[in-house]
Structure 1
Amino acid sequence: MFEEDRVDKVAEPERRAFTYLMLSSVRFAYASAARLLVVKFVASMSASADVLALAFSEFDLSSIEMGKTITAKWRGKPVFIRRRSAAEIATEAAVPMEYLRDQETDADRTLKPEFIVVLGICPHLGCVPVSNAGDFGGWFCPCHGSHYDKSGRIRKGPSPLNLEVPPYKFIDENVILMG
């Protein structure tokens, strides 16, 4: 039986080439279909356009008065942006590290000392602190009594961490890009 079904090299060499061509074409079609399925699957897991639009936000800081705090919204979360005076900056820079539970210097938390940008979510239980309140004049979380200074560092209360500093950069003198 083996001898009868075999493609003879001498009698019909073009049949062998055609068979190999057809087998290669079918394998290429299968590989292309598999690649298409993988690409579609991976693309379905990427973020949609409305989510990507929320990923980056620009904020103009020129309208913020000295010593005032504004609340902006980024990725559905409140963001506190405070313009600090030279006296406030000096006060926060002079705080000894041993007084802080989550030890971060004021310079580590800001790109420009004049502006402090923090997420407005208490790291203790996710409450929204009140601006310009508390024992240190920064933020106060009324739910559990956490007090933050004007650099967003925890100074008193149950919160274990400072207010989070989101990723941002200055793209102009008074314009930041968050995200």
Structure 2
Amino acid sequence: MSDTALGANPDPHASADDPHRRDFIHIATVAAAAGAVVSLAWPFIDQMNPAGDTLAMAEIEFDLTKVQEGQQVVVKWRGKPLFVRYRTPKEIAEAVHDDHADLRDPATDESRHKPGKPQWLILIGTCTHLGCVPTFGGGDYGGWFCPCHGSVYDTSGRIRKGPAPKNLAVPDYNFLSDTKIKVG
């Protein structure tokens, strides 16, 4: 006699021993467990994001009309001093003249400012030796001098003498207009 004659169900999905049914249950269980793990872990991951006050310091805008030719303004950015210098034609000429000098960290003056704006030099104002803040106008090259250990930078912020291994860093910045920059 056949199974259908004895009253067996011909539908293969109705069987308790159906392997496809067990696969679905396993997949659903794993998906639910993964969702539970993510929902439990998210608060711990989210708390690692920077605080709102830190994000607020990530970018700053600065009005360049506050700086006169030959002057430097120091602005605080990400907890560090930021030098905004309006260079004179003489300072620019000295920097360009020294492009081919024997430099510890070679860089042209053109690579340290935005195209068409050589008068504006924006630098992170911490010495690359130990993080001191150099002062402008000291040293042999007319640029910055770090009084702590004697590092000397030229008018383009390139290291010329002393223990500092690198040039003063140039941050990521853009001109929003002819008189306004955005740093960060």
Q: TM-score range by the shorter chain?
A: 0.7 to 0.9
Looking at structure 2, the residues matched to 49 and 107 of structure 1 have their Cα atoms a distance apart, in angstroms, of 36
Aligned runs of 1:35-74 on 2, under 5 Å? 35-74=38-77
Deviations 1:137-173, CA, capped at 9 Å, x for gaps = 2111011111111110111222121111111111111
Size of the aligned set, in residue pairs, is 170
TM-fit CA distance, 1:109: 0.5
Indicate the residue corresponding to 1:150 in structure 2. 155
Aligned runs of 1:52-131 on 2, under 5 Å? 52-111=55-114, 112-131=117-136
Please say if residues 70 and 82 of structure 1, whose CA atoms lie closer than 8 Å, have aligned partners that are also in contact. Answer: yes
Looking at structure 2, the residues matched to 98 and 59 of structure 1 have their Cα atoms a distance apart, in angstroms, of 33
Looking at structure 2, the residues matched to 156 and 57 of structure 1 have their Cα atoms a distance apart, in angstroms, of 32
> Which secondary structure state, in structure 2, belongs to the residue aligned with residue 118 of structure 1?
strand
Any unmatched runs of 5+ in structure 2?
A: 1-7
- Aligned-residue Cα RMSD (Å) equals 2.7
Q: What amino acid is the match of 2:57? A: L
Any unmatched runs of 5+ in structure 1?
A: 1-8
Looking at structure 2, the residues matched to 136 and 119 of structure 1 have their Cα atoms a distance apart, in angstroms, of 19
Please say if residues 83 and 115 of structure 1, whose CA atoms lie closer than 8 Å, have aligned partners that are also in contact. Answer: yes
Percent sequence identity over matched residues?
45
TM-fit CA distance, 1:133: 2.1
TM-fit CA distance, 1:60: 0.9
